[in-house]
Amino acid sequence: MGWTQPIEKEEHDKLARVITVQKNSYRLSDGDMEFLAQVSGKFLHTATGTLDFPAVGDWVVVEKLYDEEKAVIKELLPRTSQFIRQAAGERTEAQLVAANVDTVFIVNALDHDFNSRRIERYILSTYESGATPVIIFTKKDSCTVERLEEVISSTEEIAIGVPVISVSGKTGEGLDQLLSYLPSGKTGALLGSSGVGKSTLINTLLGKEIQETRGIREDDSKGRHTTTHREMFRLPNGALLIDTPGMRELQLWEGEGAMGATFQDVEALEEACRFKDCQHDTEPGCRVKEAMDNGELSMDRFQSYLKLQRELAYEKRKQDQKALMEEKNKWKQISKDQKKKYRAR
């Protein structure tokens, strides 16, 4: 499943890919068989955080028990990409959504779901993950031509250089274009809010009802959570596609390195300011202020840029504080253990 190059039988017997994660249980595939798996005791002992554990899309070294269709995960192979968000709740903790993904399909519906600021967040996180973003608008069959043109135009203004396509999970329109970004041997992931049609897309691409789907409320187009876990599917064209539960919000975990790619228009204007430390307020020769005055740059776009910078800086401070506290607690425990050993002499 998802082998992109020939693999020797000896290696094949040791490797598998994670296709489903549910609590402490994993389902793996080596392309021929599927296995129910858990991590080994050594793996569990050496893991120090959530990012050390396997996620959907990960490659793992395993010991396979063919007769029982089970496996033990011994090692996690290095990732080529990882889409991370801040886990829901009050704790400062990373949540790995998917790993080793080539293309992230940012799925939105052509109804009340459209939100340009949320799209910016997804683009930022996708670039930071190491994957390539593609924006998909679903439910094309229930949208007017005027509405479609308006949404795509608005999106292209903020998603500079990012492909934007519209599809219909019901009629199949636009799916060939989607698959052109997901050829054989590549891995994609569908990310977006509940009710945008991710599971319907999976069913249509597979040609059968695999994922349960539900309707949405007509008054506000809010979807119900249908997909409850992340799962990878093999498409008829040989590509792999990960379906994910709907996200109510995407809280950033990291993204400083991707700000330039996501807001290249804003940063190009900043570089054109007369002063390098321009605050874009009352300074003479401010290219950003000039662009906002003449309509070249919207105030909303610039405010979103500043907001995400502040949010990332705040998140970084929280993570640093957590790391400092963990280090302090570690040495405190070491000190206690040493005292116990001394007293036991």
pLDDT of residue 129 exceeding 50: yes
Specify whether the CB–CB gap between 152 and 279 falls below 8 A.
Answer: no
What's the pLDDT tens digit per position in 258-273? 898 999 999 999 999 9
pLDDT of residue 216 exceeding 50: no
pLDDT of residue 275: 93
pLDDT of residue 196: 86
pLDDT of residue 6: 45
List all residues 6 or more positions away from 111 whose beta carbon is below 8 Å from its beta carbon: 139, 142, 143, 221
Specify whether the CB–CB gap between 97 and 84 falls below 8 A.
Answer: yes
pLDDT of residue 334: 64
pLDDT of residue 327: 64
pLDDT of residue 257: 82
Is residue 115 within a helix (H) or strand (E), and if so which, with residue range?
A: none
* Range with lowest mean pLDDT among 208-217, 276-285, 297-306, 328-337: 208-217
Helix (H, G, I), strand (E, B) or coil at 336: helix
Helices 116-129 and 145-158 pack at an angle, to 10 degrees, of 50
φ, ψ at 344 (rounded to 5°):
-80, -10
* Range with lowest mean pLDDT among 17-21, 37-41, 226-230: 226-230
pLDDT of residue 31 exceeding 60: yes
pLDDT of residue 108 exceeding 70: yes
List all residues 6 or more positions away from 61 whose beta carbon is below 8 Å from its beta carbon: 14, 15, 73, 74, 75, 76, 77
* Range with lowest mean pLDDT among 30-39, 110-119, 278-287, 299-308: 110-119
Beta strands in 231-339 (DSSP E): 231-234, 240-243
Structure confidence at residue 217 as a pLDDT band (50, 70, 90): very low
pLDDT of residue 219: 47
φ, ψ at 273 (rounded to 5°):
-65, 150
pLDDT of residue 220 exceeding 80: no
pLDDT of residue 39: 95
Is residue 154 within a helix (H) or strand (E), and if so which, with residue range?
A: helix 145-158
Residues of the chain with pLDDT > 90, as a percent, come to: 54
- Closest C-alpha to 166, from 104, 116, 107: 107
pLDDT of residue 4 exceeding 50: no
pLDDT of residue 5: 45
What is the secondary structure of 124-141 as a DSSP string? HHHHHHT-EEEEEEE-GG
pLDDT of residue 135: 97
Please tell me the distance from the alpha carbon of residue 261 to that of residue 256, in angstroms, as a whole number: 10
- Closest C-alpha to 126, from 174, 159, 90, 88: 159
- Closest C-alpha to 273, from 261, 259, 283: 283
pLDDT of residue 35 exceeding 90: yes
pLDDT of residue 223: 45
pLDDT of residue 92: 66
What's the pLDDT tens digit per position in 196-213? 888 889 989 998 776 655
Helix (H, G, I), strand (E, B) or coil at 339: helix
pLDDT of residue 133 exceeding 70: yes
